[in-house]
Amino acid sequence: MKIGLFYKEKNNENAAFVKEQLEKNGFSLDNINPNVVISIGGDGTFLQAVHAYINKLDSIKFIGVNYGSLGFFCGYTKEDIPELIKELKEGLSVKQYSLLKGEIKYHDKEQVIYALNEIRIENPFHTLISDVFIDKDKLETFRGNGLMVCSPLGSSAYNKSLGGALIDSDLNALELTEIAGLDNNIFHSLKSSLVVSGNKKISFKGELSGTMVGYDNLSLNKEGNLKEITVSISDKKVSIVYSKNNSYIKTVRKSFVL
Ligand code: NAP
Ligand code: MN
């Protein structure tokens, strides 16, 4: 087993501690071709770790050790490191989650992106006007600040701040959520979030100049010549390690209730 460590500079000392514990237990470290990547930090760090290895996801298991604030993705806390080392020796319990795929059309090129939490279009300075399609069916013409599609795992992130529902991470689904939709006598949109089957595709089409594409901690198209974006569930999967007694509801309770 080759273990890569991923962390931000502020966690240099914590990473040095984890490294020391791993080496003491005979594990070899390799950040170039790891089979296991330990993210030392919070969810922001975990998302960056997944994007850093986005072309090697098939061969990597991701472990989050929470040295951040929330740590929704993190199966372990710093107190769990002895337990984690035991599980690294005896066998890890892994769950696989599909990434979202975003197929983007600009006026002059096309691009594909992948995300764990959500893919969104946003224009905070001018009313964004976009048609929304579910597969071939038009749902609405939306006016507002933006539109988001999140995965079940991402439903507890930005989506939750926007009033979207949490989705059990075992479900294969997409959730469409509005960002500040106009709602008056002239312009309407759905307002509530819409959860659809993971076999469907959600598209945003319009004259989207000046609109940014945001995905997880990343963003694109600052110049703005976006025409269309279609979000679906991709074939790419990320393998996340959790301690054996973890469950989605326990994580929700720990993160938002207690
Ligand atoms: P960040 O400040 O690290 O993330 C914002 C907060 O969301 C942090 O508290 C983070 O936890 C938490 N978080 C991230 N993914 C989560 C998930 N799947 N479930 C529950 N909580 C989650 O910012 P960043 O590094 O740029 O991360 C990008 C993410 O921030 C985006 O994917 C988006 O979901 C989220 N975001 C939220 C808002 C909002 O709520 N208004 C606005 C923009 C972006 P940690 O504290 O452990 O890092
Ligand atoms: Mn963070």
> What are the φ/ψ torsions at residue 9 (nearest 5 degrees)?
-55, -35
Ligand 1 within 6 A of CB of 68: yes
Ligand 1 within 6 A of CB of 181: no
| Integer Cα distance of 168 and 151 in angstroms | 10
Answer positive or negative: Cα dihedral of 244, 216, 6, 70: negative
Angle between helices 81-90 and 12-24 (to 10 degrees): 40
What is the model's pLDDT at position 92? 95
- % helix / strand / coil in the chain, to the nearest 5? 25, 45, 30
In angstroms, the Cα distances linking 221 to 104, 106, 147 are 10, 9, 16
What is the model's pLDDT at position 161? 98
43 counts as catalytic: yes
pLDDT mean values, one per 10 residues, the chain (258 residues): 97 97 97 98 98 97 94 94 96 96 93 97 94 98 98 98 98 98 94 98 93 96 83 98 91 94
**How many A from CA of 157 to the centre of ligand 1?**
5
- Return the best residue to mutate from 69, 99, 158 for the ligand 1 pocket (most ligand atoms within 8 A of CB): 158
**How many A from CA of 130 to the centre of ligand 2?**
30
In angstroms, the Cα distances linking 138 to 65, 134, 226 are 43, 6, 19
Shortest-distance atom of ligand 1 to CA 71:
47
Ligand 1 within 6 A of CB of 146: no
Ligand 1 within 6 A of CB of 70: yes
What is the model's pLDDT at position 244? 82
Selecting among 30, 43, 58, 235, the annotated active-site residue is 43
**In this structure, how many other beta carbons lie within 10 angstroms of the beta carbon of residue 96?**
10
| Integer Cα distance of 160 and 147 in angstroms | 14
| Integer Cα distance of 113 and 128 in angstroms | 21
Residue type at 252 in one-letter notation: V
**How many A from CA of 47 to the centre of ligand 2?**
9
